[in-house]
Every structure is written in C-alpha cells, then in structure tokens.
Amino acid sequence: MSPLSNPSQLIVRNIDLLEVEQLLIFNAFTDNLLTTVCQHAKCITAFTSNFASYQNAQKVCATTSNHTVNHHIGPWYNEAQTFDAALLFFPKSKKEFLFNIENIFAQLKSDGVVYVVGDNKGGVKSLPKLLKEYTVSVDKIDSARHCSLFAISAPKEKQAFEPEDWFSKYSFNVANTELDIYALPGVFSQTELDEGTKLLLETLATEHKTPLSGKILDFGCGAGVISAWLAKNNPKAQVTAVDVSALAVASTQKTLMEQGLDGEVFLSDGLSEITQNYHYIVSNPPFHDGVKTRYDMTEQFLRDAKSHLNSRTNKSHGLYIVANSFLKYPPIIEKTFGQCLCITKTKKFSIYQA
C-alpha cells in the first residue's frame, strides 16, 4: 500500500469538506487515501479510468470494515446517480480535465460542489482560466506541499454529458497504409502520429515484406495506432491490444471498429491480465506516469515479456519496441532475452528487437 501522495495529504488536511451523504471520488492516485475518506463520507463511489488505481482501491477498501465503497472503472462515469460533492484529481492533460469535469457536472446535485486537487507543476493553478466559460464559481481553498485545492460550484444549467463528442480524429499514412485514429482526451497519440511510433511502423514494414500471421500483442495501445496498422496490414494475424487506461482501451476499440478491423482490446496493468503467449509483442512503451517520468513500468514489462512469447520458430518472431535513444533499455533486454538488436536508430529514437 503506497504512502499518501502530496495531493492526498492536502485532502486529508481538509478532510471535513468530504463529510457529505453522497461522495464521488474521481481518478484518485494509487495510495490509501480511501481509508481516511471512509471515516468521513457516508456513501462513497470511487471511479477511475486507470486499471492499477481500480485494483488498488479494491484492496484498500477490503481492509476497511463497516463501510461500503462502490467501485467503477471505465472511460467515463455513466451511472444513474447524483452526488453532493465530488473530489477530482487534476490529470496531466487540461483537455482531459475538461472531459472529466463535464462528466462530473452531469452527476452533481444542483447545490453540489467539486473539489479539485493537484500538483502545482501539473497545471492545477490554471483552473480559473480553464473554467472561465462555465457558469460556475471557482475558489481556492488551500495550498500545501506544492499542491493546490479548489472548490467549484455546480453549473447553473445542467447539461447532458456526451462522450462521443470528445473523440478527436486524425488520419495518417505510413508505408502506403492510410488509417483514421480516434482518441479521447489524455490518450497518447491523441491528435497526431508521434515520431517514434511512425519510425516503428516504417521499420516493421521494412523488416516484414510479407504479411505476418499468428498472435500479435500491442502493449500500451494508446489510441490504437499500432493495433490498427498491424490489423490492416496483417489480416491473417490475431491482434490483441492492452493498456492500463480505460480511455485508451475505448479509443483503440473505436479506432478498430470505425475501420472494420478485428482485434481484442482490454485493460491490463502491465502484463498482469495476459494469459496467453504471442508470436510478436510490439510496443511504444510508456515512461510517464502523470507529469512524472517513470522507467519502472517499462522495465517490468521488458522483464515479463519473454514469458509471454512463444518459443521461437521463426527468427523474426519476438519483441519489437521503440524507445527514446537515451533510455537504457538494451541491458535489461539483453539480461532477459540474451540479446538485443538495434535494427533502426535516429538521433532521437531506437528500434530494438529481441
């Protein structure tokens, strides 16, 4: 169980604000804040779009006696319920914040309030500016440990939340393959094809002149760029995509569906939910968690990947990843796989195969 994050400590300092009948906690950090909140709010609903946070919340609440917490995970909250107050943790994307706040406004009672907490370096101080077009009041409640806490009133006119309106769309063409990508706010590759993934797809096209067959896993699928490209170019292959974010899973599902492409897409914290082996694992693995840089997620993925690959029957089978060239992944790959081939390299990115 993780110690309290700085934003969670600021909430504990103002815990009396959460002493309400119906409380919605929205995208809390992976720590044990719920243990403290359970002693104050009478009925708690914990919603998250992050699978790791969802699993952590269930573990935390399993140790909290005499209190029931309703857990929900998904790209957005859509239950028929209203709340006296909501606690929202400010996300790394400002557009994702607006997506979240409109979702919460649709669930808030007319006299309800939304408390927003976040790291000052993560952009939470921009709240008044972000909400200037909404008919709400925004008041700063407290600040400590480089974090700020705001209170936002319920909007004067309640509007329905329409998730479909929040999908962005763009097109790209790599190796004579044109695709449309659909993405929700906060998802990697939301508005354009990133340079690293483009290099990875170009390299795969060069390395494999004929279509692939067998099972292919896209780890950290984001908006579904890799999954869609693989599915379109390799119709006999079985493509599976996983991500820790329900926003990413929903985006990849829509990207595939809109183009009539097949693929299995589901939530997984790393490879935790993977139960089968694959001929290929292809990834532009993440190394950010919110506003912080974290390498341990990808390092754990690299250590675990080998156990989810079929025994090599073809020299091209195996792991393909793109990474910023400064990241020290080759030693980890070599330790796990015995070798690490750098098959493409630019000033900024490297493509590794194992």
* Token pair in block for residue 199: 């290099």
Hey, where are the domains in the chain? 6-161, 167-353
Summarize the confidence of residues 257-281 as an average pLDDT: 96
C-alpha to C-alpha distance for 39 and 41, rounded to whole angstroms: 6
- DSSP string of 302-346? HHHHGGGBPPPSSTT-EEEEEEETTS--HHHHHHHHS--EEEEE-
pLDDT at position 293 is: 54
Radius of gyration of the chain (CA): 22
Task: Look at 14 and 296; give whichever has higher pLDDT.
Answer: 14
Q: Lowest-pLDDT range, 113-127, 216-230, 259-273, 312-326? A: 312-326
Terminal Cα distance for the chain, rounded:
34
Strands 318-324 and 138-144: unpaired
Q: Lowest-pLDDT range, 52-56, 74-78, 91-95? A: 52-56
Query: What dihedral do alpha carbons 280, 283, 287, 288 form, nearest 10°?
Result: -130
Task: Look at 20 and 65; give whichever has higher pLDDT.
Answer: 20
Summarize the confidence of residues 130-159 as an average pLDDT: 94
CA distances from 263 to 8, 242, 342 (A): 38, 11, 28
Burial class (CB in 10 A: 0-12, 13-18, 19+), 289: middle
Q: Lowest-pLDDT range, 60-74, 76-90, 176-190, 307-321? A: 60-74
Rounded to 5 degrees, φ, ψ at 77 are -95, 125
pLDDT at position 159 is: 85
Task: Look at 258 and 328; give whichever has higher pLDDT.
Answer: 258
Amino acid at 334: E
Summarize the confidence of residues 158-174 as an average pLDDT: 95
Query: What is the domain class of 167-353 according to CATH?
Result: alpha beta
Quickly state the pLDDT bin for 154 (edges 50, 70, 90): very high
Q: Which of 27, 31, 8 is nearest to 93 (CA)?
A: 27
Q: Lowest-pLDDT range, 28-32, 197-201, 257-261? A: 28-32
148: Cα separation from own chain's centroid: 23
Residue-averaged pLDDT of the chain: 91
Residue 315 has pLDDT above 90, yes or no: no
Summarize the confidence of residues 206-215 as an average pLDDT: 91
What DSSP designation does 278 have? B
pLDDT at position 292 is: 52
Residue 290 has pLDDT above 80, yes or no: no
Residue 286 has pLDDT above 90, yes or no: no
Beta bridge partners of 44: 23, 69
C-alpha to C-alpha distance for 253 and 200, rounded to whole angstroms: 21
Cα angle: 325, vertex 196, 316; to 5 degrees: 85
Residues 9-61: pLDDT tens digits? 999 999 999 999 999 999 987 788 888 888 888 889 999 999 998 988 787 76
Residue 67 has pLDDT above 70, yes or no: no
183: Cα separation from own chain's centroid: 12
Burial class (CB in 10 A: 0-12, 13-18, 19+), 222: buried
pLDDT at position 31 is: 83
Cα angle: 128, vertex 125, 151; to 5 degrees: 60
Domain 6-161 sits in CATH at 3.40.50.150
Strands 264-267 and 292-293: unpaired
Q: Tell me if domain 6-161 and domain 167-353 are identical in fold.
A: yes
Helix or strand or coil: residue 18? helix
Q: Residue 172 region, left (φ>0) first, then alpha (ψ -120 to 50), else beta?
A: beta
C-alpha to C-alpha distance for 315 and 341, rounded to whole angstroms: 12
Residue 320 CA neighbour count, 13 Å, CB half: 25
Summarize the confidence of residues 300-326 as an average pLDDT: 85
Helix or strand or coil: residue 44? strand
Residue 64 has pLDDT above 90, yes or no: no
Quickly state the pLDDT bin for 96 (edges 50, 70, 90): very high
Nearby residues of 37 by Cβ (< 8 Å), 6 or more positions away: 11, 15, 18, 23, 25, 44, 87
Quickly state the pLDDT bin for 313 (edges 50, 70, 90): low
pLDDT at position 296 is: 77
